[in-house]
Amino acid sequence: MLEKTVREFMPVLLGTPEGLPDPDIEGQTRFALEYLSAGAKEFKPVYLIAAASFKVLAVLLKRKPWSMLTIEEKDYVANKLFSYSNPLLRSIPLLLAMPILASYYRREEVQMALGFDAKALKADAELRTVTRDRDLPPKCK
């Protein structure tokens, strides 16, 4: 059920980013499920409640069941929820998007397309000693 929910909301909340690699549905779904499992045990049911709430609000806003909505209508519902001033309603698509966006933007090819070289930053960070004692010099190799 959780996997179906993630797959169902991925095209709506991620879309097809311009100038970036296409989403990897299989890999991102696996990561999103791992993401949801690694957190607090309450996160999964809250995620499913948010998905159900999103679908109910979609019916109220578009007067059609979720399964009958086009991708444009689903986008409209998501944008409408994101724009509400009520923080509870605004948090529904945000909560649903967290594992989906994390699964997309963690991919190395997406990071490189954005100009973020994680390997170079990690190599640079390994040259330094992280401590609260300011008297230590940086590591030298």
Can you tell me the distance from the alpha carbon of 37 to that of 2, in angstroms, rounded to the nearest whole number? 10
Global pTM value = 0.76
The closest of 75, 87, 98 to 6, measured between CA atoms, is: 98
The closest of 81, 137, 126, 103 to 10, measured between CA atoms, is: 103
Per-residue pLDDT, averaged over 25-51, amounts to: 89
Sequence-ordered alpha helix ranges (H) in the chain: 2-13, 25-38, 43-62, 71-83, 87-105, 108-113, 118-125
> How many CB atoms lie under 10 A from the CB of residue 6?
25
- For 122-129, the CB contacts below 8 A with 24+ separation are none
> How many CB atoms lie under 10 A from the CB of residue 3?
12
Per-residue pLDDT, averaged over 96-119, amounts to: 88
Residue 31 pLDDT greater than 70, yes or no: yes
Residue with tokens 């095209």: 11
Question: How deeply is 85 buried, as exposed, middle or buried, from its count of CB atoms within 10 A (0-12, 13-18, 19+)?
Answer: exposed
pLDDT digits (tens, 9 = 90+) for 80-106: 998 999 999 899 999 999 999 999 988
Can you tell me the distance from the alpha carbon of 28 to that of 11, in angstroms, rounded to the nearest whole number? 12
Where do the structural domains in the chain lie, given as residue ranges?
2-115
